């Protein structure tokens, strides 16, 4: 009776955590449900099935494997979490070999009770529930992290395949995946992000004349690009709820300090107002974070965003001395371009 009580409490807590994540999520309700609610509901059901199944049964072994997978998967995914992780590229570099070794060891241990096919199903089923329903229905919102998920799946496939059948083919496949993960870490993921967010692999675009867009500065005054004619203008577009935008701010600050007072580059940022936010909040956030670069603001319906089809953030734009767009990409790519052209 006592064990049943604690089981029920555990299930209630899991469901409560799932619900809290559901209501705290800033995305649409259905996306949050598929991303968190479905997963935590599955954990609750799995917990019940485990409790009612026989000790040492194949069902329990199956659920044990799934539980180990969830733990390993979440530990690896910590590398890509906003605010505390190192990024998706590190998740790819570290996650692929870690999950390869993990799935190989799981196969070695549990093959005494389950077939390799059942072990593979126990590994892939929770992986699918954790990530792919949300990806299928909200593809555009999740495409940024797709390479990391693919390489984590490849890690599971590699470990299972190495256990089931070692041959030259499996060794070649493993070697190619390792090389690919290193390439993604070094440059490939940056190409992926640039192409998905900006339509180019490097961020460089053909010199394009643009409108003289207007913005509001920290004082509420209207400013426009033509006021800095004769200088290159670097604009970092960001939003309040974008974790990666905050990670890019130290580099924006560094570029601001490098070029302020000079006649070559003007560095600023543009706070894009969504939901019920106020335009002055952008400058308040930047000051609170300890930075001093200028902050302009625009509404989410601003023509700059629609003209350049900007939907992902942070997004860095670089205009030349005549106000023509020459770069549309990441802050790192913009810094590299400025070094080539100025320094």
3-state helix, strand, coil in the chain (%, to 5): 65, 15, 25
Report the C-alpha gap between 218 and 213 in whole angstroms.
17
Q: Are strands 315-319 and 324-329 parallel, antiparallel or unpaired?
A: antiparallel
Task: Specify the length of the chain in residues.
Answer: 343
DSSP label at residue 54: P
Q: Is 248 helix (H, G, I), strand (E, B) or coil?
A: helix
pLDDT tens per residue, range 43-76: 666 666 777 778 878 888 888 888 888 888 888 8
Indicate the domain borders of the chain.
53-198, 204-342
pLDDT tens per residue, range 234-248: 999 998 877 778 888
Is residue 57 a contact partner of residue 114, using CB atoms and an 8 Å limit? Answer: no
Burial label, 136 (beta-carbon count in 10 A; 0-12, 13-18, 19+):
exposed
Is residue 97 a contact partner of residue 103, using CB atoms and an 8 Å limit? Answer: no
Tokens of 339: 């070094």
pLDDT, residue 26, reads: 43
Protein fold of 204-342? Glutaredoxin (3.40.30)
pTM of this structure? 0.66
pLDDT tens per residue, range 71-112: 888 888 776 654 445 677 888 888 899 999 999 999 999 999
Kindly compute the dihedral angle of the four CA atoms of residues 115, 117, 121, 122, in this order, to the nearest 10 degrees: 20
Cα-to-chain-centroid distance, residue 224: 32
pLDDT, residue 23, reads: 46
Tokens of 136: 């299928």
Report the C-alpha gap between 271 and 248 in whole angstroms.
13
Q: Which residue has the tokens 């543009």?
A: 270
Q: Is residue 37 scored above 60 in pLDDT?
A: no
Quick one: which H or E segment has residue 11? helix 2-24
DSSP label at residue 25: -
Tokens of 14: 């899991």
Report the C-alpha gap between 215 and 220 in whole angstroms.
9
């Amino acid at each position: 009776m006592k064990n049943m009580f604690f089981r029920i409490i555990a299930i209630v807590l899991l469901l409560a955590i799932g619900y809290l994540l559901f209501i705290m999520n800033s995305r649409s309700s259905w996306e949050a449900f598929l991303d968190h609610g479905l997963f935590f509901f599955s954990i609750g059901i799995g917990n019940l099935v485990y409790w009612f199944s026989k000790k040492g049964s194949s069902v329990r072994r199956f659920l044990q494997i799934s539980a180990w997978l969830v733990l390993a998967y979440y530990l690896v995914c910590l590398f890509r979490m906003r605010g505390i992780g190192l990024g998706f590229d590190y998740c790819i570099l570290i996650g692929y070999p870690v999950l390869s070794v993990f799935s190989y060891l799981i196969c070695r241990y549990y093959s005494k009770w389950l077939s390799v096919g059942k072990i593979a199903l126990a590994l892939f089923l929770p992986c699918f529930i954790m990530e792919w329903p949300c990806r299928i229905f909200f593809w555009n919102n999740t495409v940024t992290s797709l390479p990391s998920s693919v390489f984590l799946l490849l890690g599971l496939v590699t470990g299972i395949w190495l256990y089931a059948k070692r041959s030259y083919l499996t060794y070649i496949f493993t070697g190619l995946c390792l090389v690919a993960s290193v390439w993604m870490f070094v440059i490939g993921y940056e190409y992926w992000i640039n192409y998905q967010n900006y339509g180019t692999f490097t961020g460089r675009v053909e010199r394009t004349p643009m409108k003289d867009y207007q913005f509001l500065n920290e004082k509420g005054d209207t400013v426009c690009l033509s006021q800095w004619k004769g200088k290159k203008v670097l604009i970092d577009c960001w939003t309040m709820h974008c974790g990666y935008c905050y990670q890019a701010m130290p580099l924006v600050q560094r570029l601001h300090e490098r070029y302020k007072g000079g006649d070559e580059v003007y560095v600023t940022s543009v706070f894009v107002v969504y939901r019920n936010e106020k335009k002055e909040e952008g400058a308040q956030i930047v000051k609170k974070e300890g930075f001093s670069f200028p902050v302009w603001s625009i509404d989410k319906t601003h023509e700059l965003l629609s003209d350049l089809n900007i939907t992902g953030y942070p997004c860095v734009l670089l205009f030349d001395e005549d106000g023509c767009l020459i770069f549309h990409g990441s802050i790192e790519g913009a810094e590299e371009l400025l070094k080539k052209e100025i320094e």
